[in-house]
Structure 1
Amino acid sequence: MEKVGFIVDSGTDIPKDIIEKYNIKVVPLRIIINGKEYEEGTISEEFLIERLNDSEVKTSLPNPEKIEKAIKEFINSGIKKILTFNISGSMSGTYNLFRLVSNKIKEEYTDVEIENIDTLNISIGAGLVAYRSIKMLEEGKSFEEVALWGKENAKKSKIFFVIPTLQYLAKGGRIGKVSAKIGELLNIKPIISNSDEGIYYTVTKVRGLKKAYKRVYNEFLKFVDNNKYLAAVYISGASKEIEKLQNDVYKKIMELENTMEVFVGKLSSTLLVHAGPDMYGIGAIIVD
């Protein structure tokens, strides 16, 4: 495999074993609770959930110095080709920040190639774009081929998810507060995904959480169709019901004919701020 450095932001939710196996550098997003700043990974999920309702909780972009440090660590180790992957540039300024820092470094190191990929996705939907790119390099594709693929084919990855309450998305300005309130009153659960432009949209609406869980699975099946794919089942929180659902759906997907790999994982803390506990989603990327 060609010698390439991989950098992601923590919102891509790539499983730890893959991060370790491929020496992926993860730049943490930030969470601000009542004015105090924390980097992703420095607080527990429980700590955050306990403060979601009675504290002022915000999210913030990564520290630019951390991006620069990650890139220069690869350069100093002799790696001159670097790929970065970020959550959707339409939903976060993280991609643009990575791009600006990368451009500055390329002016300083003229022999270094850095390609920044906007995954047009969130959470493991973004992580699957990065993972598929790494696998393509393993299969013998060149750095240039993989970079071009990443820029042109991010829409081959989708995540479909549902959350018990819309209050956190409304609080963070991701959806309107009036829409959220009406949805709560009518027990309407939107199945949410990312558009080809990398923006949240409602795929469909279902009344009741259990029906919504089934619909997420059906939307995943509809998306992958008869193609081969990599998949992931992700949750937030630690309720027995949501953990059982994750385990059951993982087993179900593993038994499907066109499944190549399936991951399970947890939503990163910065994304949990907007989704809240007991989020359930399935991500998939079509493999050509």
Structure 2
Amino acid sequence: MSIKILTDSASDLPCSFFKENNVSLLPLRVHLRDTEYLDLETINPAEVYEAIREGAMPKTSQAAPATVYETFEELAKSGEQCIYIAFSSELSGTYQTAVMVKNELLETYPNFELEIIDTKCASLGQGLVVHYAVQQLAAGLNFKELVSKTRQYASSMEHIFTVDDLDFLAQGGRVSKASAFVGGLLNIKPLLHVEDGKLVPIEKLRGRKKVLKRMIDIMDERGAKNLADQTIAISHGDDEETAMQLKALIEERFGCKSFLINMIGAAVGSHAGPGTIALFFLNEIIE
């Protein structure tokens, strides 16, 4: 029996990844200037960043329940075993909707095998989990093994990131308004990470160079011993130049050779804002 992997657009993977690896996509929704768009399908993230710079305030919502239902029902009919690698339940209702839809479909398709994994990850942290799951599937793991391994990758994924303006995250309820206020008042750059699926500020530094250096130091502190052999992911809010600077620092410090670099998608980017730089790696070796 074949195995199907699916994820949502909060994974911030490039469109080409889904086609090349036969991964199904559930798009989150972006509401911009009275129009609803489907992330990765009907809006380009660069459009969102440009709109934000012009003063627009995009909103987002979870994947449409009808879309989730249609996607899951098609998979149920196919008879495939399925793994949905989902955006953190602490940041979106998409995971909860997926669980609800699965339970509903099981009444009609009692043999439907769908494992829904709450990654507690975001952006290319989630994307890296999908990346590794695709690799493990190609290596021949069976369904139970693949589910177990994918959960290991999710629980071992580190997220270290900085934003230009914490107000974007505060307006969407992703961090407290008090944290955003302090950051803006002092014109300092915050460092954040993901803790149990939530965005948590950990440090504040003055100047982008100091922030990038500290990101590398934290990577050294938290990363597994095999950093040089890992695929390292970097996502950015329309700031490829800084993303490449970070990549060069990582290459110099750790000798890493495999990188996944992509612009943060429209849904996540609507909250993170332009100038965000995010770094993802594993904190333990997955055998």
- The normalised TM-score by structure 1 is 0.88
Q: Verify the 8 A CA contact 2:212 2:246 in the aligned structure 1.
A: no
Q: d(CA) in 2 for partners of 1:80 and 1:260?
A: 35
Partner of 2:154: 154
Aligned to 2:116: 116
In 1, Cα distance between equivalents of 2:273 and 2:99: 29
Distance 2:185 2:253 in 1: 37
Greater mean alpha carbon deviation, residues 200-209 or residues 111-120: 200-209
2:60 equivalent in structure 1: 59
Q: Is the 8 A contact 1:216 1:281 kept in 2?
A: no
Q: Once the two structures are superposed, what CA deviation does each residue of 1:220-272 show, in whole Å capped at 9, x if it has no partner?
A: 232224134221111112xxxx3222223334545676747311101011111
The residue identity in structure 2 corresponding to 1:282 is: L
CA distance in 1, matches of 2:248, 2:206: 26
Match for residue 184 of structure 1?
Answer: 184
CA 1:119 to 1:137, structure 2 compared with 1: closer, same or farther past 3 Å? same
Residue of structure 2 in register with 1:6 after alignment: 5
Give the counterpart letter for 1:7 in structure 2. Answer: L
Q: Which residue of 1 aligns with 2:197?
A: 198
Render the CA deviation track for 1:15-65: whole Å, top value 9, x for unaligned: 333322221111110112244321113123343224336334211011112
Counterpart-to-counterpart distance in 1, 2:254 and 2:171: 41
Amino acid at match of 2:96: N
Contact 1:86 1:118 in 2 (8 A): yes
**For 2:107, what is the secondary structure of its paired residue?**
helix
Consecutive unaligned residues of structure 2, counting only runs of 5 or more, are none
Which residue identity does 1:246 align to in structure 2?
A
Identical pairs, percent: 27
The answer to whether the 8 Å contact 2:10/2:268 transfers is yes
Aligned length: 281
Q: How has the CA–CA distance of structure 1 residues 192 and 103 changed in structure 2, closer, same or farther, with 3 Å as cutoff?
A: same
In the alignment, which residue of structure 1 is the partner of 2:209? Answer: 210
Structure 1 counterpart of 2:243: 246
> Which moves more between the two structures, 139-148 or 112-121?
139-148
Amino acid at match of 2:261: V
Deviations 1:151-200 (A, max 9, x none): 355221122110111121122122232331221121222211111x2111
Matches within 5 A, 1:22-61: 22-41=21-40, 42-52=42-52, 54-61=55-62
Alpha carbons of 1:50 and 1:22: their partners in 2 closer, same or farther (altered >3 Å)? Answer: closer
Distance 1:200 1:95 in 2: 17
More deviation in 222-231 or 7-16? 222-231
Deviation at 1:142, TM superposition (A): 1.5
Residues 225/115 of structure 1: CA separation in 2 closer, same or farther (3 Å cut):
closer
Q: Secondary structure at the match of 2:90?
A: coil
Structure 1 stretch 38-47 or stretch 257-266: which is displaced more?
Answer: 257-266
**d(CA) in 2 for partners of 1:270, 1:11:** 7
Please tell me whether the aligned partners of residues 159 and 280 of structure 2 are also in contact (alpha carbons under 8 angstroms).
yes
Partners of 1:7 and 1:70 within 8 A in 2: no
Unaligned runs of 5+ in 1: none
